[in-house]
Structure 1
Amino acid sequence: MSRFRALWQASLNATKKALTWNVEDLMPPSERYIFNFNSKDELKRWHLYSDSEYGGLSSASLEITDAGKGLSGIFSGNLSLDVSEGSKWNISRSGFCGMRSKKLDGFIDLDSYDTIALKLKGDGRCYISTIYTENWVNSPGQLEDNSWQAFVFVPKDNWYIAKVSSM
């Protein structure tokens, strides 16, 4: 009879817990990190690119460093308007470099959020941030993801939170 009583008590406890759930348990957190440069493994999640793929002389690098207040990802680029001689591409000048995340495995549900925040420290110039989202409606001839772009001005030598909002 004690086995029955223990089973009955466990069932009763589970029922009470189910009936007294807290609505906060269903709310998403106020912030969610998509990328956090807190380990060298983070470098594997990024692709660097520059005009060197087309005969330009620019270059890009990404490293994880400890700046005394925890780890940070440091993107560096060397821009050159020149192109290499004998380039197969018909260009007379160039000058770009950047980084993009590699395609993520799985689905990240960000439906509860309307803003993406980027914590940046820069050189006082303006940059373009592009965010790609899965295209839910595939029209004939449109197989690519949707892209959303924002200009992001990064003040020189100070940390800055740039917010890109859907509103």
Structure 2
Amino acid sequence: MSRFRGILQASLNATKKALTWNVEDLVPPTERFIFNFNSKDELKKWHLYSDSEYGGIFSGNLSLDFIEGAKLKINRSGFCGMRSKKFDGFIDLDPYDTIALKVKGDGRCYISTIYTENWVNSPGQEEDNSWQAFVFVPKDNWYIAKIPLARYLPTWRGNVIDAEMEMNPSRVVGMSLSVNAEGGLPGARTGAGDFKLEIDWIKALRT
């Protein structure tokens, strides 16, 4: 009888341990690092882009001028940004509801972009879906900006799409940060001139 009780108790202990492990495993952490800008390898995951590709100027200074003989004819200038290289696969942010960035800036308004897998994937529409939200970065002090995923709007080449669309946070393929000379939130610095944004990390939060 004692042997049976020992087996039963061992079985119960094993079951309890298994259930406890499964519960902990099913609950994701409340935050997840997406990028931690603390090494050269981390920086290699990003690349710069700007309107210099189309006729503007980028050297740490936003310019509204145009270069004669540019490859493409455009009617506005003054933007630049940094974009992560496409992830190897996807990042699943479905358990989270907020993007947090630890940044130090210059009083300008920056644009945070999340790229998700394109559900349409039709001819002429091969680009990833992009979702954008403004980030106001106060001048000279480190600041943690928190942006609810629900605040990101669907965009197409910088313009908000007037359509009912929902982000699929389980299929994130990349991110970017950019700045325009004009536009943004009220009170933010605008116009041509120098800009500077320092980034410590980017996280996903479950609030």
Aligned to 2:48: 48
| Higher normalized contact order (CA 8 Å, seq sep 6+, divided by chain length) | 2
- Retained in 2: the 8 A contact 1:54–1:89? yes
Task: Tell me the CA shift for residue 121 of structure 1.
Answer: 0.6
Partner of 2:25: 25
TM-score by length of 2: 0.58
SS at match of 1:35: strand
The match for 2:80 is 97
Equivalent residue number for residue 58 of structure 2: 58
The question of whether the paired residues in 2 share the 8 Å contact of 1:50 and 1:97 is answered with yes
Q: Point out where structure 1 has 5 or more consecutive residues left out of the alignment.
A: 1-10, 60-76
Q: Does residue 106 of structure 2 align to residue 123 of structure 1?
A: yes
Shift of the 140–95 alpha-carbon distance from structure 1 to 2, 3 Å rule, reads: closer
Tell whether the 8 Å contact from 2:54 to 2:73 is kept in structure 1 after alignment. Answer: no
> Which residue identity is paired with 1:95?
G
CA RMSD of aligned residues (A): 2.6
- 1:138 aligns to 2:120 (yes or no): yes
- In structure 2, the residue matched to 1:65 is none
Distance change (3 Å), C-alpha of 1:134 and 1:24: same
Indicate the SS of the match to 1:28: coil
* Ranges in structure 2 where 5+ consecutive residues have no aligned partner: 1-9, 151-207
1:83 aligned residue (41, 45, 66): 66
1:111 is paired with a residue of what secondary structure? coil
Distance 1:92 1:147 in 2: 22
Which letter maps to 1:29? P
Question: For residues 83 and 26 of structure 1, do their structure 2 counterparts lie closer, same or farther at Cα, with a shift above 3 Å needed?
Answer: same
Give the TM-score normalised by structure 1: 0.71
1:6 maps to what in 2? none
| 8 Å CA contact retained: 2:99, 2:146 | yes
Give CA deviations for 1:117-144 in whole Å, capped at 9, x if unaligned. 1111100011111111123x33645443
Distance 1:36 1:149 in 2: 21
Aligned partner of residue 18 in structure 1, secondary structure: helix
